[in-house]
């Protein structure tokens, strides 16, 4: 079952503006990841944030995590036309052993950057 | 180049036929996964395998079958029992036993039932 829900489902902004998308989940997590998917392609890992972290940066990406609200946000600063893609959050449940290693993906935000 | 390959890129199937989607990786990853993606939707897990000769059902395994005879290969068969198989299928792999499960994806196979 889908655990993550992204908001908004679709977002269109002008090039150069910042884009923010949110992810909510339902159960405890070990970590949360964000992936990007260009149209008709596979997903590419962008950034990971652990459950004991609150904020993480990578280049123009900033991810926050609020475990009390079971939510995360992905901020892309100074957007470019090449950022046009769908963005998915994925959660990894806590595990006491190395079994049952699987991710649960959200429904995605479709981001369009207008040149 | 290391990576994951999926073939074919496009596949057309007549109703009642079984078809097999190929997934191969040369990343030396133990774990492999199959997902289904419908238009405008997220990924739903079909099957996953953490080690050769072992696999587990995901959330939507009905109408699908897999095998894991080799570490590099994880083929998915879409059987005639799958009532609505038209979708985009993604294969992924990851290193097993790490603190986090970063997955590497293939380019996908788009299956259309005629």
What 3-state class would DSSP assign to B74? coil
Tell me if B58 and A45 make a contact (CB, 8 A cut-off): no
Distance CA B27, CA B4 (A): 8
Angle at B56 between CA B99 and CA A6, to 5 degrees: 60
DSSP state of A51: T
What pLDDT was estimated at residue B98?
A: 78
Chain A touched by B106 (CB under 8 Å): yes
pLDDT at A2 over 50: no
| β-strands A85-92, A61-66 pairing | unpaired
pLDDT at B31 over 90: yes
Tell me if A42 and B108 make a contact (CB, 8 A cut-off): yes
Length of chain A: 115
Distance CA A5, CA A25 (A): 7
pLDDT at B45 over 60: yes
Tell me if B110 and A40 make a contact (CB, 8 A cut-off): yes
Burial of residue A49 (CB within 10 Å: 0-12, 13-18, 19+) is buried
Distance CA A9, CA A15 (A): 19
What residue has token string 């079958």? B65
Read off the pLDDT of residues A49-104 as tens digits, 9 standing for 90 and up. 999 999 999 999 999 999 999 999 999 999 999 999 999 999 987 765 555 578 99
Facing B50 at nearest CB: one of A30, A101, A104: A101
| β-strands A10-14, A109-114 pairing | parallel
Distance CA A21, CA A6 (A): 7
Read off the pLDDT of residues B57-78 as tens digits, 9 standing for 90 and up. 999 999 999 999 999 999 999 9
**What are phi and psi for residue A82, nearest 5 degrees?**
-70, -10
Q: Is A9 left (phi over 0), alpha (psi -120 to 50) or beta?
A: alpha
């Amino acid at each position: 079952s889908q655990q993550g829900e992204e908001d908004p489902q679709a977002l269109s902004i002008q090039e150069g503006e910042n884009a923010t998308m949110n992810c909510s989940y339902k159960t405890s997590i070990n970590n949360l990841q964000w992936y990007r998917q260009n149209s008709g392609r596979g997903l590419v890992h962008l950034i990971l944030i652990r459950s004991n972290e609150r904020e993480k940066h990578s280049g123009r990406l900033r991810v926050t995590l609020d475990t009390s609200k079971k939510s995360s946000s992905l901020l892309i600063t100074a957007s470019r036309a090449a950022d046009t893609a769908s963005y998915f959050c994925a959660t990894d449940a806590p595990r006491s052993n190395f079994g049952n290693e699987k991710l649960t993906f959200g429904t995605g935000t479709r981001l369009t950057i207008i040149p | 180049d290391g990576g994951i390959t999926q073939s074919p890129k496009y596949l057309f199937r007549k109703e009642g036929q079984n078809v097999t989607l190929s997934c191969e990786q040369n990343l030396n990853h133990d774990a492999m996964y199959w997902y289904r993606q419908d238009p405008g939707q997220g990924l739903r897990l079909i099957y996953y395998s953490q080690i050769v000769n072992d696999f587990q059902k995901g959330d939507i395994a009905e109408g699908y079958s897999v095998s894991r005879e080799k570490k590099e290969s994880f083929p998915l068969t879409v059987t005639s029992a799958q009532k609505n198989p038209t979708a985009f299928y993604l294969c992924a792999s990851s290193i097993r036993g790490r603190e986090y499960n970063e997955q590497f994806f293939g380019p996908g196979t788009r299956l259309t039932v005629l």
